[in-house]
Structure 1
Amino acid sequence: MARKRQEDPPKGSPAWMNTFSDLMNLLLCFFVLLFSMSTVDEDKYEQLVASLNSSFSIFSNGGPAIGEGQLISSGVSQLNQLSDYVSDVEYEAEEEDTDEADPMKYIEEQRKVLSEEMYDEITELTEKFNIDNKVDVKIDGQNHYIKLSIGGSVLFDSGVAEIKKEALPILNKVGDILKEYSDCLIKIEGHTDNVPITSNIKYADNMDLSAARAISVWNYLTDKKGLDPSTLEASGRSEYDPIASNSTPEGRAKNRRVEIKIYNELSK
């Protein structure tokens, strides 16, 4: 009697391995999808890559697994903890938008920095030229200019707009300072107190007088000091921008002044 031939075992991997491989592929696709929709923290991303490398051995450059592939190899139950490793896209985008600098805010900060630098430089120059006792230097942080204030009695006699000869050395040194900022907008403003002009045929009122004084300073700085007329403005403010009370002689004396405002390059 002939011996029955033994059947060959089925070729290839066992059937259960195909199912297992499909499951692993689906899990891998699932994580790849999460990565494509999310922004990943760099440190936690490295942990995830290392864990995938330990579990599937598909990331050739992955580092050693953390705790024997703690994120993946522990099973699907770890999915509930995935939020600890992967940040939501919308949350990250919102956080980045919050941290991103506002262009207008940046420009405002740069204006402030430039104004502070100009203030320090001009203060040093007034001390160097020994006119700090005649020229008051202030910074306007809101409008971004440096203000040089010169008392009216220093520059002019009462009721006139011609610059006194003894004031020319002071104005000459002020012009030297302004030359350092020839590219900046410079505004010259004349100011008076609130006492009306009487018996003056040359100036109708305080507005005329304040404007004439500003123009006198403008003429000196352009003609004698060579400053560019296109960067200088002159105007009269009369009594309408006081810095002290007009009810006392001291306050009125402070209000009679010429102000020179130097705007930084970002405030043109």
Structure 2
Amino acid sequence: MAKRRPEDPPKGAPAWQSTFSDLMNLLLCFFVLLFSMSTVDAEKFQLVIASLSSSMSILPAGGASIGDGDMVGAGVNQLEFLDKYYNDLANSKSHTESTTEGTDANAQEQYEQMELSESEQMAQDIEKQLDNSSLKDMVDVDFTSEYVQLSLNGALLFESGKSEIMQEAYPVVNKISTILATYQDNLIEIEGHTDNVPVSARSKYESNDVLSMYRALSVADYVRANTSLDPSHIKSSGRGDYDPVADNSTAEGRARNRRVEIKVYNSYNSDFN
């Protein structure tokens, strides 16, 4: 008699159910872990807050203000002190700025006074040398905080309408050159000036500007050639009739305007660039 084949055992759960069960278990463990980590000792938490607030807050209430729930009230109580703090800070800044401005103004005033004092001393020395050279009545001396100015009447140096120094004027220019030679480290600027009468149509100079420029250049070249001064320390320029010192409507005024000015700059203003 044939044997009966045993029945197959029942099949297990589908494969996806096993995977899903594993995922659910992992999620459960994850949320349990989060819950366990979120449980904080309230007393320790208050101590941490108090420590941080007392060390970092600008309000003197510190940890008590947070622990007692009075932070807002305590902060409002401190507003008047904050206002005073910022007002004091603003006043301090304003005072510092005004002090700095006052210091700068005083420094500038002292600097200008030193400039003026040096120019005054230079003018006194030059006048003394002019007295010794018998040129006091031929040269006018003036000074500013920048330079000492020597003014010579153009009629002493040049013939009318010409820029070459007259031979009769050589002794005067020689004495002036000797005085200038004592200022080896100073900038010297020579300016030529004319009256407002137009140059003659037969003149080789097309305008008073050109004539004044050549007259200044003649004096500058003479000083360079007869002194040991550094040639680069001597500048020359023509001002024409743009800077009169007297009224051109009179003969006396026009004579004063026809002049040569020599400016010897003090050490504070001797810029050779």
Q: Normalised by the size of structure 2, how large is the TM-score?
A: 0.61
Q: Distance in 1 between matches of 2:240 and 2:256?
A: 13
The one-letter amino acid of 1:136's match is D
2:255 to 253, 256, 264: 253
- CA drift of 1:182 comes to 1.7
Map of 2:31 onto structure 1:
none
Q: Establish whether residue 125 from structure 1 lines up as the match of residue 146 from structure 2.
A: no
1:135 to 135, 139, 158: 139
Q: Distance in 2 between matches of 1:193 and 1:100?
A: 46
Q: Distance in 1 between matches of 2:101 and 2:157?
A: 52
The one-letter amino acid of 1:113's match is S
Map of 2:221 onto structure 1:
219
5+ residue gaps, structure 2, are 1-91
After superposition, the CA RMSD in angstroms is: 2.1
2:190 to 188, 194, 212: 188
Q: Give runs of aligned pairs for residues 11-30 of structure 1, distance below 5 A.
A: none
Map of 1:199 onto structure 2:
201
- CA drift of 1:201 comes to 4.0
2:160 to 146, 154, 158: 158
- CA drift of 1:225 comes to 2.2
Q: Distance in 1 between matches of 2:100 and 2:197?
A: 56
Q: Distance in 2 between matches of 1:99 and 1:254?
A: 43
- CA drift of 1:148 comes to 0.4
Note if contact 1:139-1:146 (Cα within 8 Å) is conserved in structure 2. Answer: yes
Map of 2:109 onto structure 1:
105
Q: Distance in 2 between matches of 1:228 and 1:222?
A: 8
The one-letter amino acid of 1:125's match is Q
Deviations 1:110-151 (A, max 9, x none): 11111111111111111111111111111124xx21110000
Map of 1:242 onto structure 2:
244
Note if contact 2:119-2:266 (Cα within 8 Å) is conserved in structure 1. Answer: yes
Map of 2:169 onto structure 1:
167
Q: Distance in 2 between matches of 1:215 and 1:200?
A: 22
The one-letter amino acid of 1:132's match is K
Task: Specify the SS of the correspondent of 1:109.
Answer: helix
Map of 2:21 onto structure 1:
none
- CA drift of 1:107 comes to 1.8
Q: Normalised by the size of structure 1, how large is the TM-score?
A: 0.62
Count of paired positions: 177
Task: Specify the SS of the correspondent of 2:255.
Answer: helix
Note if contact 2:161-2:203 (Cα within 8 Å) is conserved in structure 1. Answer: no
- CA drift of 1:227 comes to 2.2
Q: Distance in 2 between matches of 1:170 and 1:193?
A: 22
Q: Distance in 2 between matches of 1:134 and 1:177?
A: 14
The structure with the greater share of residues assigned to helix is 2
**Of the two, which has the highest radius of gyration?**
2
Task: Specify the SS of the correspondent of 2:150.
Answer: strand
Q: Distance in 1 between matches of 2:211 and 2:228?
A: 25
Residue identity over aligned pairs, in percent, reads: 43
Map of 2:60 onto structure 1:
none
